[in-house]
Structures are given as C-alpha cells and as structure tokens.
C-alpha cells in the first residue's frame, strides 16, 4: 500500500541548489528534501575549483558578464547572465553567514584568495582549497539537518511527477507532487505539495566516461519532460578536459584551477600543444581544450595527455591542491615531481528544463534549479565555476518567488501508485546490459566530435533499447536501477535529437558535417517539446 505525505514544498535533490532553496524557505514552510542516495552524494560534493564572483577591485561586473557571454558562443540569455553576476556577491556572503570557510590570501589576511580558470579574464574564483563543493555541501547539509522546518529523506528516488493533467484528467496542468520509491524499504510513496522543485543535477552518467558521481542520471530532466516541460540545448554537453587517467581511479576530476595556477598540458614527449589551438593556451574555454586533447589523442593514438604543475614549489602545490595531491599520491603519482595523466570526460549538462529567472517551469507549481534547469546562463558552453553560482542565485530567486504565494495543501484525490499489473523481475541482467550499451554508444557516437552518421546510428540503437526498457518497465516492479536507466534513455534521446537539429558547430557541439558556426542566421536555442 502506498503511503501519502503532505508538505508545502517538495524538493527532489539534495545538492547545493536543493539545500539552498530549502534553507531559504525553512522558516516559511514545511519542506521535504528527497535524495536517492546519501544526502551529501551528488556533483556538488565533488566540485573542486570554486565559485565565480567579482571581489577584486581590478575586476568588474561587466567583465564577468562579457567573459560568460563569450564562453557561451552567442547562445546565452544576456538577461540571465546579468542577473546571475549581479547577485553573485550577496549569495557568497550568505554562504559565509552559513559557516562556509573560503581560503584566504594568508593566515592573517582579511581578503580571500581568488584563482583564475578557463574563460575568465580576471582572478574571480573564490574557493575552499581544492574542495569547495565539499565545504559548501556539508555546511549546508548540517544546517538543513538542524532546522525543524526541513524533513530529509535519503535513499528515496522520484518515479514520476504527479500533475493534474495526467493524473486527474484536468484541462489545466499543475504540479501536485511526485511518486517516490523508498529504496531501502522497497515501497512506493506519494509525496504531495503545492510546490515541487526539481534539483537533481545533470546527466553525466549517460556517457561511459564522466567526472560525475553515479547519481547523475538526468532524473529531473527526464521527469520534467515527461510531465510536460520544454527542454532546451541538450546537445551542449561539457566534457571536462582533465580527468585523472588511471585504472584504479573512478571519475576523479583534476581541477581547472591547476591550469589557472600555471599547469601545462603536455604530450607524452613533453611538448606543449594548446598554443596551436587557442591564443589563451591552457586557459582557453573548456570546449576548446577538450577538443584539442581529443584531437591530439586520436592523431597520435595515445590513451591520454599529461598535466604538469611540477615546476611550481611543492609547498604551493600541497597547500593549494591538497585533495588532488593526496589522491594522486595514493595512486603512485607525485604531482610535485611529475605530470599527471589526464583525459576528457563528460562533466556538465548545459541544457535542461526551461525556466524563467525565478526558476519557474512551463507547469504551474513546478520549479527547476541547478544543473537540471536551463536558465540561459551558460549558452553553448558553461564558463568555469559559474555552476555553483547558478545554483545559489536561482535557488534564492525561486525561494523569493515561492514566498509570495499562499501555499495551500493538495486536496485533490490523487490516485495511489498502481503496481497491481506487474511482477518481480527474475533477473536484472537486461538492465545491466542496456545500461552499459547505452553509455558506450553515447560515448562513441555522441561524444566530443560528432557526425550525422554517428548520431543516426545512436538514434537507431536507442530506439531498440527504449523498446526493451519500456517493455521491462511495464511488466516488472520498479527498482532504482530501472528508474535510472529509463531516465538516462530519455535524456539520451533528447541529446541525440537536439544534436541532429543543430546544423552547425557552436560551443560544445562540434560536428564534422558542419564544422563552422552558421553566421547567416541568429543563434537559436534547440527546444524539445514535451513528450506527447
């Protein structure tokens, strides 16, 4: 039997965006936060570099805006960019008020150390050593655990959003909550709320190689699209240029901050190569660096390239990058003495559920924040360290918007989750096989460099997989693995179809069939209409 719980706000996802919104609302409403794993497990936890904000007197708001627009390759929403940058400082001050500790210039210094990353013309990355995400996430989570207005539900995964149009057969659509699987108890629950927020992060696990944790399976994007939201710019998947290449290292990112502090990209023979691809060299935008590495690896038949910061003092390396230093050393790589082997890996989903500047989606009562959302900030390529900033700014904007509403309990007679027509699965090999096949053909055919032929091959393979997934879903009890596979397949379809629609190369989308940007017409978003 399905249990039902009522809240004022249901937040699906417990990363920086979800927890920020929860804390802004906790004094005003009853908030539920669900997380499909441990409460702190998500991409936020592993963010190393920092948060971009104008703090240095030689920097300016306009410079930050200009850099973001340039990185976004003509597809940023300038209003969203300006709004984000102008609200950066107040959100950083809010983090500091919550207890987040950022690295200072010295032991007794009152100023914060700022680093520089790709695409930025100034030092404007405030950070907590090389583990900024962990510092932010754990601090916010401790605050949330201590607040009586927030109820936390770890190991709960969303199944599908509940809407008035789909589940009550009403003409007007409105979000009413979500059907949820309690993974530990293996039972379904109905969470009802007049406001539901999608904050589940991105979809890096749709690719074979990714810097993202295992939970990044595009759940919010898929659920929002199935419920009736438009999705935009899914072809723009950012591949981080430098993930650690080692057989015993899983999804370990080598922060862009190393390049910001002078690290050099080298071939196996010690030759630098980035100057051949961009005047900023190692500090070029991420899409340029990732394609350059991919090009050199394919040209030479090499498995990786190398990132070298050993020319810097050992004390500097250990103090600025303690997490990376320790992780590499544990694998036998002393980055104070030798270069680190690196490869590109899927890192960030620039597209997502379309929202306005208050985080509102196409469905009344449904918001999306963080990597799940498409605000227009990133355009065709996200500039480094703008992601955590987006989480903070738009979570606060959504909270401010929600505070203006009179939140009334959902009184509709929502039907319980129906599992009467399905049977327990006798084996899980079909899920495992399809998961592996999906991620491999997405890597091979829909990766850093694309062609129409590869994209159409991926589309054909996905059609067969989706048929098998839909059949399995309709006949068997749900599980977390099945739900994630279903969501990944939906997101893969959105990425492939979006990529096929873009007849040019722009930002993170590079195709050999159209290697140049189409300058004959204005740059446009790729908008995917909701599932019919």
Return the active site residues: 286
Instruction: Give a three-class secondary structure readout of 349-397.
Output: ECCEEECCCCCECCCCCEEECHHHEECCCCCCCCCCCCHHHHHHHHHHH
Q: What angle do CA 63, 65, 70 make, to 5 degrees?
A: 95
Sequential DSSP letters for 168-214: S--SS--EEEEEEEETTTTEEEEEE-SEEEE-----GGGSSSBSS-T
Rounded-to-integer distance, Cα 215 and Cα 203, Å: 9
Q: Cβ-count burial of 122 within 10 angstroms (0-12 exposed, 13-18 middle, 19+ buried)? A: middle
CB 67 within 8 A of CB 58: no
Rounded-to-integer distance, Cα 347 and Cα 152, Å: 27
Instruction: Give a three-class secondary structure readout of 5-44.
Output: EECCEEEECCCHHHHHHHHHHCCCCCEEEEECCCCCCCHH
CA atoms within 13 A on the CB side of 362: 20
Rounded-to-integer distance, Cα 72 and Cα 80, Å: 12
Rounded-to-integer distance, Cα 138 and Cα 193, Å: 26
Q: Which residues pair with 162 in a beta bridge?
A: 177
CB 494 within 8 A of CB 225: yes
Q: Which residues pair with 112 in a beta bridge?
A: 104
Residue that is written with structure tokens 């505070």 in the block: 403
Starting at the earlier edge strand, list the strands of the sheet with 175-182.
3-6, 187-192, 175-182, 156-163
Rounded-to-integer distance, Cα 413 and Cα 176, Å: 11
Instruction: Give every CB contact of residue 95 below 8 A, 6+ residues apart in sequence.
Output: 51, 136, 139, 392
Give the DSSP H or E segment for 469.
helix 452-475
Name which of 257, 259, 254 is nearest 272 in CA terms: 259
């Amino acid at each position: 039997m399905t249990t039902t719980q009522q809240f004022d706000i249901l937040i699906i996802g417990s990363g920086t965006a979800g927890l920020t919104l929860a804390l802004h609302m906790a004094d005003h409403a009853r908030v539920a936060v669900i997380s499909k794993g441990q409460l702190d497990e998500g991409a936020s936890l592993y963010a190393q570099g920092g948060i971009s904000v104008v703090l240095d007197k030689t920097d300016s708001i306009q410079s930050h805006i200009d850099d973001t627009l340039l990185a976004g390759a003509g597809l940023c929403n300038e209003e969203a960019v300006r709004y984000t940058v102008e609200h950066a400082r107040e959100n950083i001050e809010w983090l500091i008020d919550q207890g987040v500790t950022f690295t200072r210039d010295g032991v007794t210094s009152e100023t914060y150390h700022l680093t520089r990353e790709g695409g930025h013309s100034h030092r404007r990355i405030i950070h907590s050593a090389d583990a900024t995400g962990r510092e932010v996430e754990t601090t916010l989570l401790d605050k949330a655990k201590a607040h009586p207005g927030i109820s936390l539900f770890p190991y709960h995964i969303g199944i599908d959003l509940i809407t008035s149009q789909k589940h009550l057969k009403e003409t007007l659509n409105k979000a009413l909550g979500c059907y949820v699987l309690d993974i530990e108890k293996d039972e379904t629950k109905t969470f009802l709320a007049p406001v539901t927020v999608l904050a589940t992060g991105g979809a890096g696990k749709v690719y074979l190689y990714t810097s993202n944790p295992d939970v990044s399976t595009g759940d919010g994007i898929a659920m929002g699209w199935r419920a009736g939201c438009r999705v935009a710019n899914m072809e723009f998947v950012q591949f981080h240029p430098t993930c650690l290449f080692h057989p015993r290292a899983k999804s370990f990112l080598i922060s862009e901050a190393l390049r910001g502090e002078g690290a050099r990209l080298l071939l196996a023979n010690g030759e630098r190569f980035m100057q051949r691809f961009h005047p900023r060299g190692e500090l070029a935008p991420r899409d340029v660096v990732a394609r350059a590495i991919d090009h050199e690896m394919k040209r030479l038949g090499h498995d990786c390239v190398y990132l070298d910061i050993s020319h810097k003092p050992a004390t500097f390396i250990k103090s600025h990058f303690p997490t990376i230093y320790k992780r590499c050393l544990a694998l036998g790589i002393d980055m104070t003495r030798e270069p680190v082997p690196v490869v590109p890996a899927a890192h960030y989903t620039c597209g997502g559920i379309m929202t306005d500047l208050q985080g509102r989606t196409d469905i009344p009562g449904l918001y999306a924040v963080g990597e799940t959302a498409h605000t227009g900030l990133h355009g065709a390529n996200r500039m480094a360290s703008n992601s955590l900033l987006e989480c903070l700014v738009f979570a606060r904007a959504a909270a401010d918007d929600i505070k203006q509403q009179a939140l009334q309990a959902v009184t509709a007679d929502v039907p319980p989750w129906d599992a009467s027509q399905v049977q327990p699965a006798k084996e899980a090999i079909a899920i495992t096989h399809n998961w592996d096949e999906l991620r491999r053909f997405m890597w091979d055919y829909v990766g850093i460099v694309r062609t129409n032929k590869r994209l159409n091959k991926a589309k054909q393979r996905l059609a067969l997989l989706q048929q098998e997934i839909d059949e399995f879903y309709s006949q068997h009890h749900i599980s977390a693995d099945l739900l994630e596979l279903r969501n990944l397949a939906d997101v893969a379809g959105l990425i492939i179809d979006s990529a096929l629609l873009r007849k040019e190369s722009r930002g993170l989308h590079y195709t050999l069939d159209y290697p140049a940007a189409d300058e004959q017409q204005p740059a446009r978003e790729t908008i995917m209409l909701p599932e019919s």
